[in-house]
């Protein structure tokens, strides 16, 4: 899903790692240390090869956190893709914690970059059921999901 919503957001070190591993550089620097894959193929990430990520081992942090994702206001959501049924609560918490390592400002910058394509992205997003991850315990072992469904 994330792979068809405008592409990947990354930091300089991640882009350097991808390029040094021999993959093509499809990123554009949109602000200092904020990179996003160039809009192409109607918002499908240029690293998507069929149904698989061609840089899977090197994919940026936000890609690794999926199906947990964030919107540019800081809200965190879980996309109810088939993968979720194979995941434990602990797995979901771990992905949420991974996402917390990503600076929010990069998402705001990416959001500005993608603004002209917002309708396309919203249309694609609207076919998925999404739950907001409302809160988590201090120990990180429990996660509460509210019932707000976005369709």
**Which residues form the interface with ligand SF4 (CB under 6 A)?**
2-3, 7-8, 45, 47-48, 53, 55, 59, 63
Shortest gap between Cβ of 18 and ligand SF4 (angstroms)? 8
Q: CA–CA distance from 126 to each of 35, 46, 105, 119, 135 (Å)? A: 25, 22, 24, 10, 23
Shortest distance (Å) from residue 83 CB to ligand SF4: 12
Q: In this structure, which long-range contacts are made by residues 17-22, counting pairs with CB atoms below 8 Å and at least 24 apart in sequence?
A: 17/58, 18/55, 18/58, 21/55, 21/57, 21/58
Question: In the complex with ligand SF4, which residue's Cβ is closer, 7 or 67?
Answer: 7
The residue (of 47 and 96) whose beta carbon lies closer to ligand SF4 is 47
CA–chain centroid gap for 75, Å, is 13
Cβ proximity to ligand SF4: between 59 and 96 the closer is: 59
Q: Which of 96, 84, 86, 105 lies closest to 136, judged by CA? A: 96
Least distance in angstroms from the C-beta of 41 to ligand SF4:
11
Shortest Å distance, C-beta 52 to ligand SF4? 8
Q: Name which of 35 and 47 has its Cβ closer to ligand SF4.
A: 47
């Amino acid at each position: 899903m994330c792979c068809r919503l405008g592409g990947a957001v990354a930091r300089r070190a991640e882009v350097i790692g991808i390029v040094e591993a021999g993959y093509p550089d499809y990123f554009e620097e949109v602000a200092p240390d904020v990179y996003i894959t160039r809009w192409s193929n109607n918002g499908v990430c240029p690293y998507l090869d069929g149904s698989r990520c061609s840089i899977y081992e090197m994919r940026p942090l936000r890609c690794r956190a999926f199906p947990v994702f964030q919107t540019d206001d800081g809200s965190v959501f879980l996309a109810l893709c088939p993968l979720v049924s194979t995941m434990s609560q602990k797995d979901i918490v771990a992905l949420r914690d991974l996402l917390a390592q990503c600076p929010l400002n990069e998402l705001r910058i990416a959001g500005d970059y993608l603004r002209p394509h917002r309708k396309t992205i919203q249309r694609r997003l609207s076919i998925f059921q999404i739950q907001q991850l409302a809160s988590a315990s201090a120990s990180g072992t429990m996660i509460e999901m509210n019932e707000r469904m976005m369709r």
